[in-house]
Amino acid sequence: MPITEMPRSKEYLHRIRERLRDDKVSHCIFTAEYLASFSPSLDIDHDEAIAAGLLHDYCRNLKKNELLKQARIFRLPLSDSQIENPALLHGPVAAKICQKQFGISANVYEAIYWHTTGRPALGILGQALYVADFSEPTRKFPEAAKARQQLRVSGFASALLYVAEMKFTFCQMKKVIDPNTQAFLLWLRNQN
């Protein structure tokens, strides 16, 4: 089902276009479409899939100081890694702002909040957004194509574990490891 059939998609698109660069808007649209393409097999509501995909990077435009300021305004718990690398806060801050501005559902809120790191016991919409954000079709790195192939050939659980392994490896290379990234991977390994 196309994005435009989601009742609030026009409003969301209009708002993300006001905030984000064209390439980021395009990433959000592809994330929403890709997520919506496999969400029926996971019993995920179509409108929630579109909302999570379109809005997940709503605060990707904010500078480090602004993210820290917003995090303090919303009284978000801050980890050492988030203080060192405030870009990690773009999900949590977006979840809060979208909750306030659009009245998103609890599922969409959770998915947006945790889309960068994941967390143990993350709900299915959050897991699906985590995969779609990493591997939507315009992502250029080879691991994105591998994740899409895993999803097609081996199924969602296998693709999710692969994405979590890859994200953890990337974090190790950048030497920025949020504790939730590692905890999510360990949780997934125990599920499989």
Name the site residues for Fe ion (rule: CB under 5 A). 57, 133
Place of tokens 């979590």: 164
Smallest distance, Fe ion to C-beta of residue 62, A: 12
Residue 34 or residue 162: which is nearer to Fe ion going by CB? 34
Smallest distance, Fe ion to C-beta of residue 190, A: 26
Contact 97, 59 (CB under 8 A): yes
Q: Cα 145–148–153 angle (5° rounding)?
A: 120
Distance CA 185, CA 117 (A): 9
Smallest distance, Fe ion to C-beta of residue 106, A: 20
Smallest distance, Fe ion to C-beta of residue 21, A: 13
Residue 78 or residue 189: which is nearer to Fe ion going by CB? 78
Smallest distance, Fe ion to C-beta of residue 57, A: 4
Nearest to 54 by CA among 24, 21, 83: 24
Residue 33 or residue 57: which is nearer to Fe ion going by CB? 57
Residue 87 or residue 192: which is nearer to Fe ion going by CB? 87
Residue 21 or residue 189: which is nearer to Fe ion going by CB? 21
Q: Cα 178–33–165 angle (5° rounding)?
A: 30
Nearest to 27 by CA among 168, 140, 105, 165: 140
Amino acid residing at 42: L
In eight-state DSSP terms, residue 57 is T
Amino acid residing at 149: Q
Smallest distance, Fe ion to C-beta of residue 53, A: 9
Residue 139 or residue 161: which is nearer to Fe ion going by CB? 139
Nearest to 9 by CA among 96, 113, 133, 102: 102
